[in-house]
Each structure stands twice: as C-alpha cells, then as structure tokens.
Structure 1
Amino acid sequence: MTVALVPGIGCAPWQFGRIAPGFAPERVLALDLPGHGAEAAVAPVTLETVADRLAERVPAGSVLVGHSTGGVAGLVLAARHPGLLRRLVLLDANLPVTPEAVAHKASRAEAVLRPDWRRTLEESMRSSWGAHDPALGERVVAGILATDPDAVRPLWHAVLALDPRPLLAGLTVPTLHVRSSRDVDPTVLRGLNPLVDAVDLGDLGAGHWPHLTVPEAVLTAVEPWLRR
C-alpha cells in the first residue's frame, strides 16, 4: 500500500517529515501540488485539474493524506476517480458542513479577487499557525508567499468558493477528517456520510499545520484508523 502525502497551497512535502515515518512499513509518496516545487503547472488552475493531475501520480489502491487544500483536492479526486483510493485522510481541510460555515467561507472568496489579496493570504496563514514553534510558522508562511501566485491565487479562490457538502455526501471511500483549526463540525460531518469519521484536535492549540506542531497526536488519530 502507498501513502500519498499532499500538502496545502504554498506548502511543500518536507512538512510531512514528522509524520511520514509513522506510516512505515508502507511506501510513502510525497507530492507537490501543480505549480509548486518542480511540479509543472496545470491550466486552467481549478480543483478539478489539480485533482486530475494528482490522479495521474497516485497509484491505485493508495491512501491519500491531504493537508488543507491538498485534502480538498483529494476529496475532488475521490469523486472524479472512484476506486482509485483505498482511504482518504483530510488534515484540517477547509470543508465546512453547516450552512453558516459554508456561507462564511464563500464570503471570503471575494477577498482573493482584490488587488491586496497577497496581504490577505499572509494574514490568514500567519493567524492560522497556532501556539507552537513560531519560528517554524514564519518559515512556512515565507514558503507560501514565495510560491508562484498564478498557482496559488485561483486555487485558493476555488477552495473558498466550494460547497463541499455534495462531495462529502457522495464519498464512496472511507474518509477521516482531522480537525485542528478549521470550522468543520464533526457531528454534522459524520451525519453526511457514514463512511466519514472525524477527530477533533482543536483543544491542542495545534493551528492549521497539526502534522508539524502536534505530529504525535496526528499519528495517534490516523495510523490506527488506517489499520482497521
């Protein structure tokens, strides 16, 4: 079995380094999003084109562990390529399921279209870091800001504009959502689809990158679930 690790917008595979050893002896495949690192861009940049590119690189029967936008793209991949994944893990992916939370996320999409969108991105990411290791947080934010804006901006807008509820309700693969900062109600999430489990790490102060700030807690939640 392969465990495919997909980072979020502006993020990189090295950020999974604290949890990757916990998936041994499985093969671990760390991927970049299109337009990130050495991975070629897609055109147009949409969740669908990103998901299709990932589907070309993820072996059949894999577990996909996606952080943030990597998780949202994984959800779209599961919908567009049924049968490809064995399981899906969503690390603090922005997938709200209550009407209020969905509306709030959609209202933020307008800010991505404004000229000062990069400042909004920086403020959003920095405020999402959490209480652990602020120097590491600055390194992560710097990497996001250094990523090609043509790869970041349209994809961020697509994530904010997405209503994920139909995709979640239609999942046919066992899925685990690990919440650490995003407004995702675990009870409502589980009610959408019996194949979706949820773990809430929100009381750990982990911020939006729990695989970097509380890796042991992430592995405690994810690894036994994968072995069921």
Structure 2
Amino acid sequence: MTDEFQFLPAQAADLGVAAPPVRRLTHPLPDGRTVSALAYGDAPPVATFLHGAGLNAHTWDTTILALGLPALAIDLPGHGDSSWRTDAAYTGPVLADDIAAAVAEWTSGPQVLVGQSLGGLAAAALAARHPELVRELVVVDITPGIDPSGDASQIRAFFAGPTDWASREELVERALSFRLGGSPEAAARGVFLNSRVREDGRVEWKHHFAHLANAAAGDPAIAAAASAQQDAVRDVLSAAGWDDLAAVTAPITLIRGDRGFVTPADAEEFSRRLPAASVVEVASGHNVQEEQPVDLGRRIAALAP
C-alpha cells in the first residue's frame, strides 16, 4: 500500500467496515497532459466523484467507504496528480471536456455522478454532453451563478500564502489557524494528501489554485484583473450552467449544506428552474463530503443500481 493510502485502514475501522483495494489510474490527453483518478474496489465503478476547487480525489475517501460500492474519484485537471492547465481555464465545461474520455475508459456503465462545488458544475456539463455516462446526477452545495462571498474569500486568503513551505507541519498550522481542516488529525491527513515535497525539500500544494492565488495576492493589478475576469466568467457561466442542468436527461439531486454556499434563495431558484429535481438539505458547511461523509455515502448508495 503506497503512502497516499496509509490513512484508509483507520478511516475504515472508524466506520466499522473493511477498506477496499484502491489503485491509481492515469489517462493521457492528446496535448500531453494526463488525468489521474482513484479506483475503489475490484468491480467496475457504479459511482464517479468530482471534487471542488483546491481539493483532490481523496476528499471522497470516507464518503466512498460509507458508500460501500465500487467507485471512481477523479483528480480534476489542476489538482492532485492530474496535470495543470497552462491557460488556468478551470471551468465546468472545460473540465468536463478534459475528463470525458477518462470517465468513458474507466467505467463500464452509466454512473451515479457526484460533483461538489466546482466539481458539481463540471458534473452538470459532463452529464449534459455525455448522457450515456450518467445514470443519476448529484450536485453537492453548488448552483450556477452563486456568489460564495465570505467562505470563498477565506479560502482564497488561505491559499494566497507562500507557494512553498519548510514542512507539512507549517501547512497544518496554517489550516488550523484559518479554522479549516477540522481536527488536527483530519487537517494533517488533508495536508499530506494535498501537498508534495519537491526535490529541494520544500513542500508545495499540489493544486494550481494556490499558485494562482499567490500570484494575485502579490500583485494588486493581477488581483484586480483576476477579480474582474471572475465576475465576467461567473456571469457567462451562470447562464451556461443553467443550460447544462436543463439539458441533463438523468434524474438530478441537489444536496446543500445548511451552512454552505447554496442559500435558501439559491435552492428555491434551483427548484424553480428544475422542478423535477430533488433538493435535500443536510447539517453541514460547504464540504459536505468531509463534514457528513457517512450520510452522504448512504444517500448516494440509495441511488446506485
């Protein structure tokens, strides 16, 4: 068992289940980049998971253990072990185009497709463009065009620190100082799985977002331009995101945390636009998969074939 899987036995023991076999997969893209993922179990996956910005496939570990079924968790481009995009175009439709062939390769039937935050927008785009890949769509704490002001600002500030660190312990201390990561043990696990040690011994985040946030924080002009660009992109993607959801032929469920990014007004707008979709509220913040992994896993299991 490689180092990245060292936490799974304890996580499984806490749930009273056996840890499944897990292996890492790699899919080459035509431009030389790669998409990476984790496959849980020996059988073909029945559920595929897409994480949010600044996270990686391991954010789903406990949820998939609670699910108890073969599953696939993808590192979105720019995250985990997947290649970064030189154009930094990390939007739902672009990410969906990057991962579509990989999902087709690694699955043998329509999936319960679960996406949280940025991954939810990518999941909607994937389901709209490739209905043959999707049995059910589960969108976790995101709707098109929401303005996640407070929490998102905190996360941007967290990642806008130095691009490299002397040790992972420094990153854990930073996460806890921002009230991120949960317990010290959970924060240490999250930092280990979301960082890497360079050849010079310094530690850096695996995902591209930290480096982009750092560049923006160091140059007010870059920050202002990035903010204006984000506003413009949000306006465009708001319409595109609703169009994607409207085009999805599979059943749709929105799971929102009562302390997450999706407000009651956002959920009401979701139901107005998609009256056939289900909306479920759980006691959680934005990262439902980390705050309520067992409940989320069981809800997804109920949708699986």
> Relative to structure 1, is the Cα distance of residues 191 and 92 closer, same or farther in structure 2, using a 3 angstrom cutoff?
same
- Counterpart position of 1:221: 299
- Counterpart position of 1:52: 97
Q: Distance in 2 between matches of 1:166 and 1:22?
A: 33
- Counterpart position of 1:207: 285
Q: Distance in 1 between matches of 2:293 and 2:61?
A: 9
Q: How many Å apart are 1:219 and its aligned residue?
A: 2.9
More contact order relative to length (CA 8 Å, sep ≥ 6):
1
- The one of 162, 171, 180 aligned to 2:248: 171
For structure 1, which runs of at least 5 residues remain unmatched after alignment? 97-101
Q: Give the RMSD, CA atoms, in angstroms.
A: 3.7
Q: Distance in 2 between matches of 1:52 and 1:149?
A: 19
- Counterpart position of 2:261: 182
Q: Distance in 2 between matches of 1:175 and 1:160?
A: 22
SS in 1 for 2:84: coil
Instruction: Tell me if the contact between 1:41 and 1:151 (Cα under 8 Å) persists in the aligned partners.
Output: no
Q: TM-score, normalised by structure 2?
A: 0.55
Report the number of matched residues: 207
Q: How many Å apart are 1:74 and its aligned residue?
A: 0.7
Q: Distance in 2 between matches of 1:86 and 1:217?
A: 20
Q: Deviations over 1:164-222 (max 9, x none)?
A: 33322232111111101122433432332244211011xx2x21111111122223433
Letter in 2 for 1:216: V
Q: In the alignment, does 2:3 pair up with 1:3?
A: no
Q: Distance in 2 between matches of 1:69 and 1:219?
A: 19
For structure 2, which runs of at least 5 residues remain unmatched after alignment? 1-44, 162-174, 196-203, 214-225
Instruction: Tell me if the contact between 1:43 and 1:49 (Cα under 8 Å) persists in the aligned partners.
Output: no
- Counterpart position of 1:36: 79
- Counterpart position of 1:19: 63
Q: Deviations over 1:26-80 (max 9, x none)?
A: x211110112122123454242221111211113512211111111111111222
> Relative to structure 1, is the Cα distance of residues 121 and 168 closer, same or farther in structure 2, using a 3 angstrom cutoff?
farther
Instruction: Tell me if the contact between 1:173 and 1:195 (Cα under 8 Å) persists in the aligned partners.
Output: no
Instruction: Tell me if the contact between 1:35 and 1:148 (Cα under 8 Å) persists in the aligned partners.
Output: yes
- Counterpart position of 2:186: 136
> Relative to structure 1, is the Cα distance of residues 103 and 32 closer, same or farther in structure 2, using a 3 angstrom cutoff?
closer
Q: In the alignment, does 2:113 pair up with 1:64?
A: yes
> Relative to structure 1, is the Cα distance of residues 54 and 151 closer, same or farther in structure 2, using a 3 angstrom cutoff?
farther
Q: Distance in 1 between matches of 2:249 and 2:304?
A: 16
Letter in 2 for 1:215: P
Instruction: Tell me if the contact between 2:160 and 2:211 (Cα under 8 Å) persists in the aligned partners.
Output: no
Q: Deviations over 1:136-173 (max 9, x none)?
A: 3686589498222388668x948744213332223211
Instruction: Tell me if the contact between 1:170 and 1:193 (Cα under 8 Å) persists in the aligned partners.
Output: no
Q: How many Å apart are 1:121 and its aligned residue?
A: 5.8
Letter in 2 for 1:67: Q
Q: TM-score, normalised by structure 1?
A: 0.71
Identity %: 27
Instruction: Tell me if the contact between 2:51 and 2:117 (Cα under 8 Å) persists in the aligned partners.
Output: yes
Q: Distance in 2 between matches of 1:222 and 1:182?
A: 21
